[in-house]
């Protein structure tokens, strides 16, 4: 209630001040007009006009009727002025009462409006306070429903924007924490597997050199080569772990994204026989990114699309690169016409070791590495749900380098 007193007092003071000023102005104007109407000279002139009409009627009998009409009008006016003189105070008092009533009604309307507005602002402030409490408690993606353009509406929209930024930053932080834990697991796997694999390969190579028995030499060498091939495959898996665990920091430079995508299409258009690469250029400002790491992301996405389309038994695959500017980021969509991502995997597609490939054809680290690269750039990699069949991966790339990478 204490918040209502200032607008109420202001409304009352303004209304009373306006009423007083107008009252004084009218009083002065009304008195002057009444005084003019009842002035002795005015009455004398009117009485003299009556006498003149009588004289003219005698002097000019032909126009007597006209002079008679003039005499009647002047006499009527004189009677009205006489009545006005006697009712002067009563008329002024009545007008003052009407004026006060009008301004009293205006004051009541003003006060009612101010009270209603104060109550509405009180409710809005309570909602803003509740939203700030939710924000402090960690809730995100708040929606206050404020559409007003006043200060409280702007504050509400700022709270909504802050909550969305917090949600985005928390998702990014969770992804970074999750990926960091997987990186540590990859380091351990690589360490545990690399040493025995290296020793086993050396021993088998020595064994291959000692096999001198003529009757079993070919079979032994064939078996040894098979073991070496399997060990090489395990070695490639180890290398994939190592790449994920030792992903370098991005080397940030300004990049013309359109030029880079055109170059990518020109270089890799023959790399996937079942894919047609298409770039839709856009007039965009330069971005800040590591060119090699960004190319690694695009290669991985195109390779996934090629394998998915090949698994469908098709050769008419297509990948389209399209980009647009949104505030201080560039959004790059990589769209393919493949079978799409299994709905049961869409929520986990960027987690390490999540893959639809058969055992031995992939470890499920490619998309995790790609998203880690984008997060390290201060951006993100998302799978958009609306494209089906096919898949749309959105790369969010900052125009300016992040404060920390």
Does residue 57 sit within a domain? yes
Which has the higher per-residue pLDDT, 361 or 204? 204
Whether 272 and 394 map to the same domain: the answer is yes
Whether 237 and 277 map to the same domain: the answer is no
Neighbours of 99 (CB within 10 A): 15
Tally of CA atoms within 13 A in the half-sphere of 365 that contains its CB: 20
Distance, in Å, from the CA atom of 333 to the CA atom of 348, rounded to the nearest integer, reads 20
Q: Does residue 397 carry a pLDDT above 80?
A: yes
Q: What is the pLDDT of residues 136-178, one digit of tens each?
A: 777 777 777 777 778 878 888 888 888 888 888 888 887 777 7
Q: What is the pLDDT of residues 364-393, one digit of tens each?
A: 778 888 999 999 899 999 998 866 688 999
Whether 269 and 291 map to the same domain: the answer is yes
Whether 282 and 385 map to the same domain: the answer is yes
Whether 302 and 328 map to the same domain: the answer is yes
What's the whole-number mean pLDDT along residues 242-252?
72
Percent of the chain having pLDDT more than 90? 19
Crossing angle between the packed helical segments 366-376 and 151-210, to the nearest 10 degrees: 130
At 335, which helix (H) or strand (E)?
strand 329-336
Number of compact structural domains in the chain: 3
Cα 375 versus chain centre, distance: 21
What's the whole-number mean pLDDT along residues 278-294?
91
Residue 382 · residue 396 · CB < 8 Å? yes
Q: Does residue 207 carry a pLDDT above 70?
A: no
Residue 350 domain boundaries = 253-398
Does residue 161 sit within a domain? no
Whether 30 and 128 map to the same domain: the answer is yes
Q: Does residue 342 carry a pLDDT above 70?
A: yes
Phi-psi region of 284 (alpha: psi -120 to 50; beta: other; left: phi over 0): beta
Whether 191 and 235 map to the same domain: the answer is yes
Distance, in Å, from the CA atom of 106 to the CA atom of 203, rounded to the nearest integer, reads 103
Does residue 374 sit within a domain? yes
Does residue 333 sit within a domain? yes
Confidence of residue 62 (pLDDT cuts 50, 70, 90): confident
- In this predicted structure, what is the pLDDT of residue 196? 64
Whether 79 and 13 map to the same domain: the answer is yes
CATH of the domain at 381: 3.30.565.10
Whether 259 and 241 map to the same domain: the answer is no
Does residue 351 sit within a domain? yes
Confidence of residue 260 (pLDDT cuts 50, 70, 90): very high
Q: Give the predicted TM-score (pTM) of the model.
A: 0.51
Whether 52 and 183 map to the same domain: the answer is no
Residue 164 · residue 141 · CB < 8 Å? yes
- In this predicted structure, what is the pLDDT of residue 289? 92
Mean pLDDT (the chain) is 76
Residue 302 · residue 277 · CB < 8 Å? yes
Per-residue DSSP letter, 350: T
- Domain stops at, among 245, 270, 297: 245
Q: Does residue 204 carry a pLDDT above 80?
A: no
Distance, in Å, from the CA atom of 354 to the CA atom of 243, rounded to the nearest integer, reads 17
Distances (CA, A) of 305 to 55, 114, 393: 119, 63, 11
Confidence of residue 348 (pLDDT cuts 50, 70, 90): confident
Confidence of residue 317 (pLDDT cuts 50, 70, 90): very high
Q: Does residue 320 carry a pLDDT above 90?
A: yes
Confidence of residue 330 (pLDDT cuts 50, 70, 90): very high
Distance, in Å, from the CA atom of 17 to the CA atom of 350, rounded to the nearest integer, reads 70
Cα 271 versus chain centre, distance: 39
Does residue 153 sit within a domain? no
Whether 293 and 206 map to the same domain: the answer is no
Which has the higher per-residue pLDDT, 293 or 36? 293
Confidence of residue 301 (pLDDT cuts 50, 70, 90): very high
Does residue 302 sit within a domain? yes
What's the whole-number mean pLDDT along residues 107-120?
78
Which has the higher per-residue pLDDT, 363 or 299? 299
Whether 313 and 392 map to the same domain: the answer is yes
- Domain stops at, among 245, 265, 296: 245
Q: What is the pLDDT of residues 3-27, one digit of tens each?
A: 555 556 666 666 666 666 666 655 5
Does residue 350 sit within a domain? yes
Contacts of 289 (CB under 8 A, 6+ apart): 250, 252, 253, 255, 377, 397
Q: Does residue 293 carry a pLDDT above 90?
A: yes
What's the whole-number mean pLDDT along residues 76-80?
74
- In this predicted structure, what is the pLDDT of residue 1? 46
- Domain stops at, among 245, 262, 277: 245
- In this predicted structure, what is the pLDDT of residue 199? 64
- In this predicted structure, what is the pLDDT of residue 54? 72
Q: What is the pLDDT of residues 40-59, one digit of tens each?
A: 666 667 667 777 777 777 77
């Amino acid at each position: 209630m204490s918040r209502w007193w200032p607008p109420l007092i202001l409304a009352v003071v303004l209304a009373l001040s306006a009423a007083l000023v107008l009252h004084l102005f009218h009083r002065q104007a009304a008195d002057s007009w009444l005084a003019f109407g009842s002035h002795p000279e005015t009455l004398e002139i009117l009485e003299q006009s009556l006498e003149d009409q009588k004289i003219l009627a005698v002097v000019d009998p032909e126009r007597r009727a006209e002079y008679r009409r003039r005499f009647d009008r002047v006499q009527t006016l004189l009677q009205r002025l006489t009545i006005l003189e006697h009712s002067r105070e009563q008329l002024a008092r009545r007008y003052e009462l009407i004026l006060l009533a009008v301004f009293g009604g205006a004051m009541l309307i003003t006060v009612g409006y101010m009270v209603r507005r104060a109550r509405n602002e009180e409710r809005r402030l309570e909602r803003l306070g509740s939203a700030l409490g939710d924000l402090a408690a960690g809730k995100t993606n708040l929606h206050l429903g404020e559409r007003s353009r006043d200060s409280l509406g702007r504050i509400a929209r700022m709270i909504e924007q802050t909550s969305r930024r917090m949600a985005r930053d928390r998702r990014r932080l969770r992804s970074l924490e999750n990926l960091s834990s997987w990186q540590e697991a990859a380091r351990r796997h690589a360490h545990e597997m690399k040493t025995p694999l290296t020793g086993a390969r050396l021993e088998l190579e020595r064994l291959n050199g000692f096999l001198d028995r003529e009757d079993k030499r070919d079979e032994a060498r064939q078996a040894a080569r098979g073991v070496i091939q399997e060990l090489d495959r395990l070695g490639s898996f180890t290398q994939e772990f190592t790449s994920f665990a030792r992903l370098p920091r991005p080397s940030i430079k300004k990049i013309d994204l359109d030029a880079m995508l055109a170059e990518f299409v020109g270089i890799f258009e023959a790399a996937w026989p079942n894919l047609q690469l298409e770039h839709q250029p856009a007039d965009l400002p330069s971005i800040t990114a590591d060119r090699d790491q960004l190319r690694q992301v695009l290669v991985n996405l195109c390779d996934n699309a090629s394998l998915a389309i090949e698994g469908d038994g098709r050769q008419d695959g297509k990948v389209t690169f399209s980009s647009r500017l949104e505030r201080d980021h560039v959004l790059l969509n990589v769209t393919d016409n493949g079978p799409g991502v299994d709905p049961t995997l869409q929520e986990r597609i960027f987690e390490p070791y999540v893959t639809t490939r058969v055992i031995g054809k992939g470890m499920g680290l490619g998309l995790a590495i790609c998203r880690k690269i984008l997060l390290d750039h201060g951006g993100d990699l998302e799978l958009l749900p609306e494209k089906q069949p096919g898949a749309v991966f959105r790369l969010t790339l900052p125009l300016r380098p992040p404060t920390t990478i």
